[in-house]
């Protein structure tokens, strides 16, 4: 079918590879294609270099890291690993050099060895990991970026001087937080690592600003004032910026150590005049009023420290909580904590980049300070420096002083608080960085044990003897197996796979907690534009915390999200695409992508609607800096698949995004009549299709293999197709070839469709003829009426694969056994099992059928002499074992499509080993015979069809089949190797069997259907085709939806889709309506008119056609009478969701009970009962159904003696006995007795019924007891 695109805006930039974020992050982490000496300091290389070298405490030994490399993976492909419940990983080896020194410090010996550290899981081409047989995704984390954050006080307090109070936090990537804050008196304090507060002046002294004069000159503007009588008013009452010293005698007249916060008076001025002091340094302006922060801190009575050493000792005391100070430790304490030790304090390159960017001009001021040499920290410095502290305090004081901006060195510095929800202050931690952190932790633990071993006297010191790789392996296993960010892949359909890999989570280690996260952090922020989708997020408690990357966005080397824009120069839009981060975009004017342009690219309007932060000014074209690339830029992939999204309410669009991810792949797929034009890109990048790696010619195409011969020559590329593989959610993954032998393909051409695809396009549902009308109340609320035609023609039939497994273990009483010999089971129930007791493939099974026979030994019982005699005579061994077979659970039925048996090497008998080898050899022989036949047939066809260049063609075919035969032999060798090694099973497991059942699920009442606009509903009735409402030409509707579901929900997009769908169906095209760039209402009406005209020309009577709004009179299928009102009809794309009724329907008569409460268990998985709670009791009480209620609360719940009696009386046909006492009541009595209350259950004369314990009777009892005691 041809595709008609209704988009007006042509995007010059095509969509990037949608899995790049995951793939690039992992490639950067490994750097495998880079020579070891040229690797950048990131990923694995950074983790190793941060931990190594490891030195012995006495300096006698040094273990250095040379390089790392990965070995060959144990499993050749991820599919092989998944098949054997293994992990697709490669051994990671590190080459290490150990240098041993003599006592005089000279080198004694050096040895190099490679050490295997762990098995590192490898990413598949589809961007996921195979771990313990299951496909998993590591979700990228969106966390607070390291750097410096300035915020206003949470309680919006003001100091006594009327100044606003602010807080500055220096947040490292790892290490101690440093927080500067003002108190109510406007004094500045520091809190290091959330410990006790210290005065900022003490901290500054410890950082190198030792005297009060240095502190004042660092933070205030200073001027030189001449000392002469005429300047008395300019000096008296102002603050000195340096000690005043008599030049002749050297006597200090005004000591800032005591008088820093005191204004100069007449007395000191006269003394300066008398002593002929010419100039004095004075703080500019009125610091008390304008900028009181430092003076208020200096006059704090706790500021008694005067030297750098004292300051260091004071901080050490407060941080360590001890009075005894070791001088050397105190001096090295801060350096170790924040200034020098990269292992304890790391800002990371991101933190350093952000600090240097924010304080660029302030660093210039600090460099110009005269009294001490300060330099701007380089981009490579990852720890803090004294300069960072000074500029942070400077910025904070300017905020406190109420300054908005300062002109310094010709550059304007703007002082403002930071918005922590701004995407400039949040960054993405990809898989590479998350793994790097884990490996760094593992290596640090390993380094600790290596140091301990260096201290011990070992026979020989070698790298392997020192290194214990266990911590690294354990931490990798823990990360992939249990981390909050390593998730079981959502594999319902290709879209759910893709969006799972593009997801961003604010949760996880080092992130937020969903219980404590506020509204602000969850809300949409103006910086999300083009970076994070404002629509796609979960509906539950994680709303806003889990988001999705927008279509065009990418993550830069600092982890900041960038989005592309077209550069605009003097009103002309260029084809230069620039990727900008959120903080780079902050002050730029960005025009929308639908701004009208001339052919030469000039903006074609006088005024342009633009965006700057969260404002939308209208400006002239010359003021525009950039222009959006595409309307898709704002939203994620899921939202970009919703046609007419601009006509849907955001809440419903959110549901539409989430429900597309739940669409089940159908047996017969169909591309949407109304799409958005990106269905092909999504299918291609999802990893579910197979694309050609090189241009070439298809030389072989079968259901499970495609061979493509490259155009430049060489051996054919063979692509293996996945056949009937179970997904994580039990849906069926099956690939079908789209090409045939002889086809020429380009690079990237889709060779095979995956699940939920049609001809390389994403196809999650079906185009159905829909009518919006009510029908006998069967589509009331969100119920849906469907035609039986959908069931009959398998329109919504899907295939689901279930995996069942059973283990035979060693128990205390002996080994369990998988066998056909099961006690007390008839021959009929065992008919479908093979000799080993495993179900035969292709057997159709129902609930309760045995899949794998298993017996478990039971304890020895005391037998009577007669029983022993019978046992000896008949040899009844079956009495010693109990049936523990694997059976088909309720609600599951289908055909067995395969079984797999895993046996421990040592438990494999010779016969089993021979049988395995014979089966493999038989399979090899069959495969080679088949290839031989196919080759013969292909060569015969060439001879018969007189092909030009027949000889060349024969050579091609021979080369292809040689390669295919080679692959069969390689597969055989590999399987033989695995067979010899035996299977990896848990310690107590001897044998494990897996059975795969495929079940066909047809549409049923109770299944959930949904459109793409959040219009979901449940099938309430499946009506015979002849009873459905029909069009005037006799066509019955496929589905009837309620018209009341649209106005209140404001998802009008579904009506546009329905109308355009009708036009597209009748005009024979597939419509592409890009998001925010789709057809207008007028265009849709024009298309309907065109379709009507085409149908009239074909001879369809006009009265059989709908009006221009696609409304028509329908007829009742039961009576043939027309309905009173016209009904909107058309074609809508409907999906069947994974919430299938067959998985939810559950019934129980008797089943398992809880041991403690004696009540039935809960939930379908436990075959439990329905909960009858407090409100349900009220409902029954409301009807006065006393006996029903009594039964509910006793025999049907936890009166276990009553249950037995009830069963016996039903069997005997007698009247049921009176219910007994519920077990939960007995538990309550025991609990009351445990509290020391004497509670007894009183019975009547017959000892049957329980006496009512009313308040009156209890009171009576108490009174009588009291009188007896008297």
Nearest to 1001 by CA among 898, 894, 851: 894
Identify whether the C-beta of residue 430 lies closer than 8 Å to the C-beta of residue 532: no
Burial of 164 (0-12, 13-18, 19+ CB in 10 A): middle
Pick the CATH number of 566-629 from 2.30.150.10, 3.30.565.10, 3.40.190.10, 3.40.50.300: 2.30.150.10
8 A C-beta contact, residue 68 and residue 35: no
User: Can you tell me the distance from the alpha carbon of 791 to that of 784, in angstroms, rounded to the nearest whole number?
Assistant: 14
**pLDDT at 793 exceeding the cut of 80:** yes
- For residue 627, CA distances in Å to 556, 562, 602 come to 20, 15, 12
Q: List strand residue ranges (DSSP E) for 6-81, in order.
A: 54-55, 61-70
Residue 1264 has pLDDT above 70, yes or no: no
* Cβ density class 530-549: b for 16+ within 10 Å, e for less: bbbbbbbbeeeebebbbbbb
Three-state SS string over 540-553 comes to: CCCCCCEEEECCCC
Return the ∠ at Cα 767 (arms to 764 and 771), rounded to 5°: 130
Query: What does the alpha-carbon distance between residue 767 and residue 754 come to, in Å, rounded to a whole number?
Result: 19
Sorted by sequence, the CB contacts under 8 Å of residue 319 that are 6+ apart come out as 192, 193, 195, 196, 333, 337
Report the C-alpha gap between 1263 and 186 in whole angstroms.
70
Q: Is the pLDDT of residue 617 over 80?
A: yes
pLDDT tens figures, 1148-1164: 888 898 888 888 898 88
Mean pLDDT of 842-862: 89
* Whether the predicted pLDDT of 1212 surpasses 60: yes
State the pLDDT at residue 967: 80
- Of the candidates 835, 46, 828, 759, which has an alpha carbon nearest to the alpha carbon of residue 382? 46
Helix boundaries (H) for 40-167: 43-51, 78-83
The beta-carbon contacts of 963-970 under 8 Å, at least 24 apart in sequence, are 963/707, 963/715, 963/716, 963/718, 964/700, 964/705, 964/707, 964/718, 964/931, 965/928, 965/931, 967/718, 968/924, 968/927, 968/928, 968/931, 969/924
Q: How far apart are CA 6 and CA 1079, in angstroms?
A: 6
In the chain, the percentage of residues whose pLDDT exceeds 90 is 52
Res 906 pLDDT > 80? no
158-219+288-417 fold: 3.90.1110
Give CA–CA dist 303/298, Å, rounded: 6
What is 799-902+992-1001's CATH number, 2.40.50.150, 3.90.380.10, 3.40.50.300, 3.40.50.1970? Answer: 2.40.50.150
- pLDDT over 70 at 879, yes or no: no
Fold classified for 20-144+427-504 = Rna Polymerase Beta Subunit; Chain: C,domain 2 (3.90.1100)
Q: How far is CA 849 from CA 109, 803, 852, 885, 890, in A?
A: 70, 15, 9, 10, 10
Instruction: Say if residue 403's pLDDT is above 80.
Output: no
Confidence of residue 369 (pLDDT cuts 50, 70, 90): confident
Mean pLDDT, residues 886-897 taken together: 92
Stretch (H or E) spanning 477: helix 470-482
Q: What is the mean pLDDT of residues 117-135?
A: 93
CA distances from 823 to 280, 440, 854, 884 (A): 108, 56, 10, 10
Q: Residue count of the chain, please give it.
A: 1270
Q: Could you write out the DSSP letters of every residue in 596-643?
A: -B-TTSBB-SSSEEEEBTTB--EE-GGG--EEES-GGGGS-HHHHTST
Residue 1258's pLDDT band (cuts 50, 70, 90): low
Pick the more confident residue, 880 or 191.
Answer: 191
pLDDT confidence of residue 459: 59
C-beta pairs of 605-613 under 8 Å, 24+ apart in sequence: 611/526, 611/529, 612/587, 612/588, 613/526, 613/586
* pLDDT, mean of residues 1026-1049: 95
pLDDT tens by residue, 148-189: 999 998 877 888 877 888 999 999 998 999 999 988 888 889
- pLDDT tier at 1262 (50, 70, 90 boundaries)? low
Question: Which residue carries 């108490």 as its tokens?
Answer: 1262
Could you say which of 1.10.1450.10, 3.90.105.10, 3.40.50.1220, 3.40.50.2300 is the CATH number of the domain covering 222-284? 3.90.105.10
Measured CA to CA, the distance from residue 225 to residue 231 in angstroms comes to 8
What does the alpha-carbon distance between residue 180 and residue 184 come to, in Å, rounded to a whole number?
A: 14
Question: If you compute the radius of gyration of the chain from its CA atoms, what whole number of angstroms results?
Answer: 40
Alpha helix segments (H runs only) across 207-320: 212-219, 232-235, 256-259, 266-274, 287-290, 293-298, 308-320
Residue found by looking up tokens 């910025």 in the block:
395
- Structure tokens of 919? 């089966």
Taking residues 75-85, what's their average pLDDT? 89
Alpha-carbon distance of 501 to 492, in angstroms, equals 14
Cα separation of 609 and 618, whole Å?
4
pTM for the structure as a whole: 0.89
Between 360-367 and 386-400, two packed helices, what is the crossing angle to 10 degrees? 110
pLDDT score at 1245: 56
Nearest in space to 697 (alpha carbons), one of 680, 679, 682, 717: 717
Interval 282-341: pLDDT, tens: 888 777 777 788 888 888 777 778 888 888 888 888 888 777 777 788 888 888 888 888
Q: What is the mean pLDDT of the chain?
A: 88
Strand partners, 181: 167, 189
Q: Please give the Cα distance from 97 to 155 (Å, whole number).
A: 56
Bigger pLDDT: 984 vs 497: 497
Of the candidate ranges 263-267, 560-564, 846-850, the one whose mean pLDDT is the lowest? 263-267
Q: Where are the domains of the chain?
A: 20-144+427-504, 158-219+288-417, 222-284, 566-629, 799-902+992-1001, 909-981, 1175-1239
Quote the crossing angle between the two packed helices 20-30 and 43-51, to the nearest 10°.
40
List, in sequence order, the alpha helices (H) in 207-265: 212-219, 232-235, 256-259
Q: CA-to-CA distance for 868 and 186, rounded, in angstroms?
A: 95
What whole-number distance in Å separates Cα of residue 904 and Cα of residue 981?
Answer: 9
For residue 399, give Cα distances in angstroms to 164, 758, 1190. Answer: 8, 60, 72
What is the pLDDT averaged over residues 6-17? 88
User: 322-326, 427-431, 627-631: which range is least confident on average?
Assistant: 322-326
């Amino acid at each position: 079918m041809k595709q008609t695109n209704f988009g007006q805006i042509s995007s010059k930039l095509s969509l990037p590879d949608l899995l790049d974020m995951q793939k690039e992050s992992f490639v950067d982490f490994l750097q495998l294609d880079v020579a070891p000496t040229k690797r950048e300091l990131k990923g694995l290389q950074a983790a190793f270099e941060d931990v190594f070298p490891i030195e012995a405490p006495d300096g006698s030994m040094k273990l250095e890291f040379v390089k790392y490399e990965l070995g060959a993976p144990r499993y050749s492909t991820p599919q092989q690993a998944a098949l054997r419940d293994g992990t697709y990983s490669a051994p990671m080896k590190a080459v290490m050099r150990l240098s041993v020194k003599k006592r005089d410090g000279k080198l004694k010996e050096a040895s190099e060895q490679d050490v295997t550290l762990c098995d590192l899981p490898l990413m598949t081409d589809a961007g996921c990991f195979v771990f313990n047989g299951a496909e998993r995704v590591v979700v990228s984390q969106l966390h607070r970026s390291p750097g410096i954050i300035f915020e206003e006080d949470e309680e919006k307090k003001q100091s006594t001087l009327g100044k606003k109070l602010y807080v500055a936090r220096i947040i490292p990537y790892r290490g101690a937080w440093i927080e500067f804050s003002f108190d109510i008196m406007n004094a500045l304090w520091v809190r290091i690592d959330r410990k006790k507060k210290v005065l900022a002046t003490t901290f500054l002294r410890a950082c190198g600003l030792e005297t009060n004069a240095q502190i004042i000159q660092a933070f205030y503007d200073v001027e030189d004032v001449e000392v002469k009588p005429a300047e008395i008013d300019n000096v008296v009452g102002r603050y000195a910026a340096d000690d005043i010293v008599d030049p002749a005698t050297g006597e200090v007249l005004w000591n800032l150590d005591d008088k820093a916060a005191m204004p100069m008076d007449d007395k000191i001025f006269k003394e300066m005049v008398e002593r002929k002091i010419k100039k004095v340094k004075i703080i500019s302006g009125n610091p008390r009023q304008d900028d009181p922060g430092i003076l208020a801190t200096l006059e704090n009575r706790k500021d008694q420290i005067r030297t750098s050493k004292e300051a260091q000792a004071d901080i050490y005391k407060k941080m360590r909580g001890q009075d005894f100070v070791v001088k050397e430790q105190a001096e090295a304490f801060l350096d170790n904590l924040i200034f020098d030790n990269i292992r304890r304090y790391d800002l990371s390159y991101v933190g350093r980049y952000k600090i240097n960017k924010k304080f660029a001009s302030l660093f210039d001021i600090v460099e110009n300070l005269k009294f001490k040499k300060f330099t701007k920290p380089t981009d490579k410095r990852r720890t803090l420096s004294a300069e960072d502290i000074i500029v942070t305090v400077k910025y904070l004081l300017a905020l406190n002083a109420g300054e908005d901006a300062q002109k310094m060195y010709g550059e304007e510095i703007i002082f403002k608080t930071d918005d922590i929800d701004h995407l400039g202050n949040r960054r993405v931690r990809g898989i590479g960085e998350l793994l790097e952190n884990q490996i760094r932790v593992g290596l640090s633990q390993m380094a600790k044990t290596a140091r301990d071993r260096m201290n011990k006297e070992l026979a020989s010191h070698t790298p392997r003897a020192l290194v214990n790789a266990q911590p690294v392996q354990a931490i990798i296993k823990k990360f992939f197996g249990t981390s909050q960010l390593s998730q079981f892949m959502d594999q319902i359909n290709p879209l759910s796979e893709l969006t799972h890999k593009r997801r961003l989570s604010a949760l996880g280690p080092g992130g937020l907690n969903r219980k404590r996260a506020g509204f602000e952090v969850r809300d949409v922020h103006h910086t999300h534009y083009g970076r994070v989708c404002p629509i796609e997020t979960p509906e539950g408690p994680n709303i806003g915390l889990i988001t999705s990357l927008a279509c065009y966005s990418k993550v830069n080397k600092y982890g900041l999200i960038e989005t592309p824009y077209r550069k605009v120069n003097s009103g002309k839009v260029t084809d230069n695409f620039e990727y900008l981060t959120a903080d780079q975009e902050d002050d730029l004017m960005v025009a929308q992508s639908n701004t009208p342009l001339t052919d030469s690219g000039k903006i074609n309007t006088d005024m342009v609607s633009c965006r700057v932060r969260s404002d939308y000014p209208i400006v002239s074209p010359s003021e525009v800096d950039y222009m959006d690339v595409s309307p898709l830029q704002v939203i994620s992939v899921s939202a970009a698949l919703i046609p007419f999204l601009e006509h849907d309410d955001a809440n419903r669009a959110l549901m539409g995004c989430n429900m597309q991810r739940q669409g089940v792949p159908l047996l017969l797929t169909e591309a949407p009549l109304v799409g958005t034009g990106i269905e092909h890109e999504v299918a291609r990048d999802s990893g579910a299709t197979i694309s050609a790696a090189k241009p070439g010619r298809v030389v072989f195409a079968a259901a499970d293999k495609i061979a493509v011969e490259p155009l430049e020559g060489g051996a054919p590329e063979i692509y293996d197709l996945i056949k009937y593989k179970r997904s994580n959610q039990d849906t069926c993954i099956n690939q079908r070839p789209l090409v045939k032998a002889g086809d020429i393909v380009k690079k990237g051409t889709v060779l095979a469709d995956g699940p939920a695809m049609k001809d390389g396009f994403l196809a999650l549902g079906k185009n159905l003829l829909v009518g919006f009308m009510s029908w006998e109340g069967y589509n009331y609320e969100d119920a849906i009426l469907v035609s039986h035609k959908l069931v009959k023609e398998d329109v919504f039939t899907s295939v689901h694969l279930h995996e069942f497994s059973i283990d035979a273990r060693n128990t205390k009483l002996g080994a369990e056994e998988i066998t056909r010999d099961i006690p007390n089971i008839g021959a009929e129930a065992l008919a479908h099992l093979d000799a080993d007791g495993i179900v035969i493939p292709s057997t159709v099974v129902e609930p309760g059928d045995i899949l794998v026979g298993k017996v478990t030994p039971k304890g020895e019982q005391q037998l009577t002499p007669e029983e022993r005699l019978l046992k000896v005579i008949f040899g009844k061994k079956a009495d010693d074992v109990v049936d523990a077979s694997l059976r088909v659970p309720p609600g599951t039925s289908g055909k067995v499509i395969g079984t797999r048996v895993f046996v421990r090497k040592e438990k494999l008998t010779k016969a089993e080993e021979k049988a395995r080898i014979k089966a493999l050899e038989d399979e090899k022989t069959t495969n080679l015979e088949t290839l031989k036949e196919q080759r013969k047939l292909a060569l015969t066809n060439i001879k018969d069809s007189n092909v030009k260049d027949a000889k060349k063609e024969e050579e091609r075919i021979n080369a292809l089949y040689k390669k295919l035969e080679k692959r069969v032999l390689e597969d055989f060798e590999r399987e033989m190797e695995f067979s010899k090694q035996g299977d990896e099973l848990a310690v107590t497991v001897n044998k494990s069997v897996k059975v795969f059942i495929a079940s066909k699920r047809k549409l049923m009442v109770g299944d959930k259907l949904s459109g793409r606009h959040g219009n979901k509903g449940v099938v309430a009735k499946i009506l015979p085709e002849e009873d459905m409402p029909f069009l005037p030409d006799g066509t019955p509707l496929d589905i009837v939806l309620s018209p009341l579901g649209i106005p209140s929900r404001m998802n009008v997009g579904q009506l546009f889709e329905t109308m355009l769908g009708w036009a597209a169906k009748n005009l024979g095209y597939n419509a592409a309506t890009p998001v925010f760039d789709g057809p207008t209402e007028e265009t849709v009406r024009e298309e309907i008119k065109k379709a009507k005209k085409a149908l009239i020309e074909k001879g369809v009577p006009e009265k059989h056609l709908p009006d221009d709004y696609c409304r028509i009179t329908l007829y009742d299928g039961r009576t043939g009478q027309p309905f009173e009102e016209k009904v909107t009809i058309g074609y809508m794309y409907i999906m069947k969701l994974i919430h299938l009724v067959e998985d939810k329907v559950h019934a129980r008569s008797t089943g398992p009970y809880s041991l403690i409460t004696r009540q039935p268990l809960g939930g379908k998985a436990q075959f439990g009962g329905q909960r009858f709670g407090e409100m349900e009791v009220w409902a029954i009480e409301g009807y006065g159904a006393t006996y029903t209620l009594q039964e509910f609360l006793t025999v049907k719940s936890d009166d276990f003696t009553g249950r037995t009696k009830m069963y016996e009386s039903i069997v005997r046909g007698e009247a049921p006995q009176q219910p007994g006492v519920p077990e939960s009541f007995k538990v309550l009595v025991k609990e009351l007795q445990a509290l020391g209350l004497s509670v007894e259950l009183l019975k009547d004369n017959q000892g049957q019924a329980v006496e009512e314990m009313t308040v009156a009777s209890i009171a009576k009892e108490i009174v009588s007891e009291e009188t007896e005691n008297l």
